[in-house]
Structure 1
């Protein structure tokens, strides 16, 4: 009888879903989104990756990083097939399946890019650019201002793609007029342009950044609600806040930019 009861208890314990504890590595996804998160020869890089790794190390929570296309990463977060996602903007529909950190991970500056000899200028008013053909990444939010311009049909022509390089190629060869992205993406884009100039059948022009920026947006660490990780999120927030107070947050950012500029 005792063996039967023990067996039943073990079976029930194995059937229940328990939140992850420190000894369980969390599956954290990134996308190819330099300078914040990206890979080089299979190794993970980026200023946000560096910060997130430091936070999880501080709370002694192991993680496993993987690269996913953005749309698939969102789907996996809904299903609980991954535990977390780095560098996410808060939009209403994501609140249904993501637990967002309450502490800002990074501030992104949403910017427009054009080819170097483009006559297009920008004074901060997107309605003045409504006749042009834009490019952006699939399922991305570029902040409330640009997202509203799309919803209100101020931006009438938008080509979307899952790959930044595809959009960059469309811009530099003239298939789109304007590419929307993050301000510091230009550092990565310049090196990719050189590759595209050597491999593209069409002539690929250099690109430039338009000023002013459209909007500064806050990006956060997000956790899958399905996997019941609010306790990890709270520990993450506490550690990230502590890093901002003790100066290690800024030191990591400064060190990353110094190393990446070499």
Structure 2
């Protein structure tokens, strides 16, 4: 009888342990970088904080057009975000590695990038421009670049444009990991010209007093988009597009742009 009671108690203990394990598994988070926070899902967002007026840091706080825009979209659509600052060139690889869910970094929509990521509707019209020292009168177009050194930022459409046209115009390319280093290279005369998106360099010259100027016509008609890994996160991409449209309709989109860029 005692032996029978012991067996019953042992079976009951085993069932209790199994039930506890099942409960723990049911409350554990799933795979992927997005995590549940209450009713809202938290998405990991890749940014490049060396890219004012779109993304930069002031007193330890992230600010800029992209920051305000994705915050407003998240609030409008009821999800949470967590920013992950990194070099621009590392953002798409981080999406591929599953470390990020969303990328917003003044990223131009290109056919090459579309092979890897899905883009939102365009949210900003940009375009590359040539930038030289403020007293430079020799360079006004691509035709003036033979034998010159062109500074570009790694992983950008400016870098791609420079590579695509290097042979035709006969210049050398110097690559940098961040915009300030690239600006400084031209300011101090180590490079002759740089390629940068017009709104970015116009803001930098106005706000930082750089001894630089833009020359010639815009070289491209780039548009910026918010990216997710191709074939993944269709749900959040749909929310991003819906939120972006609602911000446009309400006028909040224009308010965000006007906060940083004066037309």
Q: How many residues align?
A: 243
Shift of 1:242: 2.4
Higher RCO structure (Cα 8 Å, ≥6 apart): 1
For residues 137-174 of structure 1, give each alpha carbon's deviation from its aligned partner in whole angstroms, at most 9, with x where no partner exists.
Answer: 01111398656324x55353010010222111210111
1:57 has 2:57 as partner: no
Question: Which residue pairs with 1:202 in the alignment?
Answer: none
Residue of structure 1 aligned with 2:226, choices 221, 225, 234: 221
Specify every segment of 5 or more residues in structure 1 that has no aligned partner in the other structure, as ranges: 195-205
TM-score, length basis structure 2: 0.79
Question: Which residue pairs with 1:207 in the alignment?
Answer: 212
Contact 1:143/1:215, CA 8 A, preserved across alignment? no
Q: Secondary structure at the match of 2:91?
A: helix
- 1:99 & 1:158 partners in 2: Cα distance? 29
Q: 1:93 to 1:79 in 2, by over 3 A?
A: farther
Shift of 1:216: 2.2
For residues 29-69 of structure 1, give each alpha carbon's deviation from its aligned partner in whole angstroms, at most 9, with x where no partner exists.
Answer: 21111111111221111122212211111001111113111
Q: 1:147 to 1:50 in 2, by over 3 A?
A: farther
Question: Which residue pairs with 2:146 in the alignment?
Answer: 130
Residue of structure 2 aligned with 1:23, choices 23, 40, 48: 40
Structure 1 range deviating more: 248-257 or 168-177: 248-257
Q: 1:155 to 1:8 in 2, by over 3 A?
A: farther
- 2:91 & 2:114 partners in 1: Cα distance? 15
- 1:12 & 1:154 partners in 2: Cα distance? 62
Question: Which residue pairs with 1:187 in the alignment?
Answer: 203
Specify every segment of 5 or more residues in structure 2 that has no aligned partner in the other structure, as ranges: 1-13
- 1:193 & 1:257 partners in 2: Cα distance? 16
Look at both structures and tell me which one has the larger radius of gyration over its CA atoms. Answer: 2
Contact 1:110/1:142, CA 8 A, preserved across alignment? yes
For residues 119-143 of structure 1, give each alpha carbon's deviation from its aligned partner in whole angstroms, at most 9, with x where no partner exists.
Answer: 22325xx244233210000111139
Contact 2:42/2:82, CA 8 A, preserved across alignment? yes
For residues 172-202 of structure 1, give each alpha carbon's deviation from its aligned partner in whole angstroms, at most 9, with x where no partner exists.
Answer: 11110001112232332455456xxxxxxxx
Question: Which residue pairs with 2:251 in the alignment?
Answer: 247
Q: Secondary structure at the match of 1:139?
A: coil
Q: Secondary structure at the match of 1:76?
A: helix
